Amino acid sequence: MEWINGGVTAPAGFKAGGIHCGIRPNKTKYDLALIVSEKECSAAGLFTKNVVKAAPVYVSMNSLAVPKAKAIIANSGIANACAPHDMENALEMQRLTAEALQIDQQDVLIGSTGVIGVDLNVKSIEKGLPELIEKLTSDASGSDAAAKAIMTTDTVKKEKAVCFALGDATVRIGGISKGSGMIHPNMGTMLCYITSDVCIDASVLKEALKEVCDQTFNRISVDGDTSTNDSLLILANGMAGNEMITEKNADYETFKDALLQLCTALAREMAKDGEGAKHLITCRVHDCETEEKAEILAKSVIGSSLTKAAIFGCDANWGRVLCALGYSGESFDPLKTDISFSSAKGDIAVCKNGKGLAFDEEKAAEILKEDEVIIDISLHEGNEEVTCWGCDLTYDYVKINGDYRT
């Protein structure tokens, strides 16, 4: 597998673009993104586990009852959730896009992100569609514009692409995502759109997406809030020309592994770009009895406000880590638990068999000053391990969310 440029336009047959159409008041920020495939695609999606779901989520879920699509359109600035005319506007957004592209309405998947409870200005979308379609391009600039158009409080765009071989065919997968706040395992306030030119049956594609999501986007947390708008969509148009994947064979595993690498990179970027964050926190729980147990324990650590605050302060307060493990709901033996911190500056053991070790506080502080801090936890009870990702809790997080709506 090789990392390449191009994001969602790296796979053959895809174009993308992004513009400012007027949904957001700041004219310097793009607010409408479009991804279009030359050919009909196998399609799959996963959505928020929040009981309160935005209208675009319901529209895309209904469209995927028949697992095919040709386009994805998404706006930023307004979530189109719990608004007076949310469903009406979501369906109109889908209809206008289909009409402009001259495709079936059901072949358009939609997404929105931003403020909840405010009506979406569909007239701005209608007015902007001709310009957006004119700017669609298969080169990297199209993916770049689309990635920027779905950003809200994100400080950097999130965009990746990979290529790999399936038999004699070269296959590509590209993705863009957004997510900075309201991020918690169950997919956070995230939009993620993935394209591929792989030839794969839609039912098998859905299984691959679910398996990969569980190991990536469902293992990140910024602030413990699960959004109303989470959407993870994938389109595969088959233009790579590989032998069609219809079962979980060797080609399926190769494809899934490449998808896993791409989604891991995007998930890490979302955790790192948490609102106000200064540190990416990687928590690795290993030597555990089961994978499920390791995941629950690691999620408890990355979700701990006290642990997040300690990392922000570069304080090797390992007691907060052990405490978070203890209230996770999972049973383990604290007297067999080891904890260490590491980063590009080295590593330092701070807890052995559930008891504190004497360690160099200055060295620990230097380790914790790095952009990525790894919390390594060994339970000495089995062979399973899981990695989850989060970020520190800073003063800026409160500032950003104190006036998010206004």
The phi and psi torsions of 248 (rounded to 5 degrees) equal -85, 75
In sequence order, the β-bridge partners of residue 46 are: 232
Question: Which residues are the active-site residues?
Answer: 189
Closest CA to 214 of 225, 224, 206: 206
SS3 382: coil
Strands 68-78 and 108-115: parallel
**CA–CA dist 55, 352 (Å, integer):** 50
Amino acid making up residue 107: D
**Using an 8 Å Cβ cutoff, are 223 and 394 in contact?**
no
Q: Phi and psi of 150, rounded to 5°?
A: -100, 0
Walk across the sheet containing 355-356 and list its strands: 355-356, 346-352, 338-343, 372-378, 280-288, 384-391
Q: Is 381 within 8 Å of 330 (Cβ atoms)? A: no
Can you state the angle between helices 86-101 and 122-134, rounded to 10 degrees? Answer: 20
CA distance 34 to 342: 41
Asked whether the beta carbons of 147 and 18 are under 8 A apart, the reply is: yes
Do 174 and 14 form a contact (C-beta atoms < 8 A)?
Answer: yes
Cα 38 off chain centre by: 25
CA dihedral 207, 212, 217, 220 (to 10 degrees): 130
Q: What six digits make up the tokens of 344?
A: 């590009």
Residue indicated by tokens 């555990």: 288
